[in-house]
Amino acid sequence: MNDNSTETYVDRTYGGAGIGYGDRPGIIVVDFQTAFTEAQYALGGAPLIERAVGNTARLLEVARRANVPVASCYTAYSATGRDRPYWKVQAVIEDLVHGHPATQLDSRIHDPDYDVAFCKSGASIFFQTPLVSFFAKERVDTVIVTGCVTSGCVRASAVDSFQWGFRTVVPEDCVGDHHEGPHRDNLRDIGRRYCDITDADAVIDRLEEWRGRNRQ
C-alpha cells in the first residue's frame, strides 16, 4: 500500500499556516542532564542527543549575549520514589534520584550564573513548574524548544508551550532522540499542528537580528 499520508495532511491544510516569532523570545532546555548526555548511563550516548547538545550550546551562547531568558530543567525524584509517576523506563526509576550524578545538568549547556534551572517531575517542562510565571515576568511570547528526548519530554513541552499560548519554534538539530525514526516522526507531527520546525543556524540568525534591533 502506498503511503500518501503527507499529501493527505497537506490536502487537509495541516502545516498550512506558519507561526513565526513575536517580540520577545525565551529558550527552554529540556533534560540535558548527564543521564542523557553521558554514555556511562543507560539513557546516554545517543548520537542525535550529542548533536543536539553541541548545537544548543552554540545557540545559548548567542542567546545569553542578547539577554534572552533561558530556562533549563532536569528530572529527578526522591529516593523512596513516592513522588515519581508510573514511568515505564527502568533507567528513570533507577538513576533519576535527587543527588545522583545522572541528574546534573550538562556543563556544556548550563550557565548557573545566567540560566534559571529547576527540577521537573513530569514529561513537560511546563508541568507544575515555575516556567510560565518566569516567562510572564520576562514578557516572553515566543518559546524556542531545545533538549531531549524528542519523542517524549520535548514533544510534551512543545505541546504545552502551544497550549499556554506561546509561539513555539523547535530547531530540529537542537533536540535529539535515541533513534532517528521517532525523532523525525514526532517533529513532523508537531510541525503539522503546533510549532515551526527550523534549525539552529536560522534561530541564531533571528536572535542576532533581535539583539541588533534592541541595541538601537
Contacting residues for 115 by C-beta, under 8 A, at least 6 apart: 29, 70, 71, 72
Q: Which of 87, 1, 88, 89 is nearest to 43 (CA)?
A: 89
Q: Are 143 and 169 in contact (CB under 8 A)?
A: yes
Q: Which of 9, 26, 50, 52 is nearest to 131 (CA)?
A: 26
Q: Which residues, listed in sequence order, are joined to residue 77 by a DSSP beta bridge? A: 97
Which residues carry out catalysis? 153
